[in-house]
Amino acid sequence: MARVHDAIRSAVVAGAAWIQIREKDLEASPLVELTRFAVAETRATDAIVLVNDRLDVALAANAGGVHLGEKSLPLEAVIEWRRSAGRSDFLVGVSCHSLESARAAERGGADYIFFGPVFATPSKAAYGAPQGVERLREVCASVAFPVLAIGGVNLENARPCMAAGAAGIAAIRLFQDAVEPDKVAAKLRAI
């Protein structure tokens, strides 16, 4: 867990806008503790902590939102909860792998989507062949909310993603493998 804590601290120092907790193998209690750690680390910043798949954990840890995958809670149920709870500040995002799923997320009330994989990456191989920058461009032009490019994004190919209309990028290895993640973040902000 120390490595994950270090990665969170590095992301905060680097100025990450969002920190997504996606430790899918953790049981609820340690996941809540990890999320609370991230929330505490970001308290003095504008960073938002999002929890992958687990609305219950996001609420228990006072996170800023939840990111839904294909096998998560239905988007409509989470949006209905948010409406009834009066939590318009609570972000709800969705992972999408097609233009149709991006449009459905928009109709369903999501605040943003991750779209990909844009490029080849081992962690997204199960979601099919890379979508490419042109498909990213098509998705960005077809929806009216932020689209973040995900899947194999690095410093060399982030610029074409942004030129295609992406509001940002989501990455794991790019930041975790960086010797100086703050410099990586600065380069991305310059793009």
At residue 155, the pLDDT reads 93
Res 90: pLDDT:
98
Q: State pTM to two decimals.
A: 0.92
Q: Which domains does the chain have, with CATH numbers?
A: 2-186 (3.20.20.70)
Name the phi and psi angles at 55, rounded to 5. -60, -40
The 10s digit of each residue's pLDDT in 19-51 is 999 998 999 999 999 999 999 999 999 999 999
Low-confidence ranges of the chain (pLDDT < 50): none
pLDDT score of 16: 87
Sign of the Cα pseudo-torsion (60, 61, 62, 65, in order):
negative
Cβ–Cβ under 8 Å, residues 4 and 35: no
Return the residue matching tokens 């687990």: 54
Q: What is the pLDDT of residue 1?
A: 81
* Predicted local confidence at residue 179, as pLDDT: 82
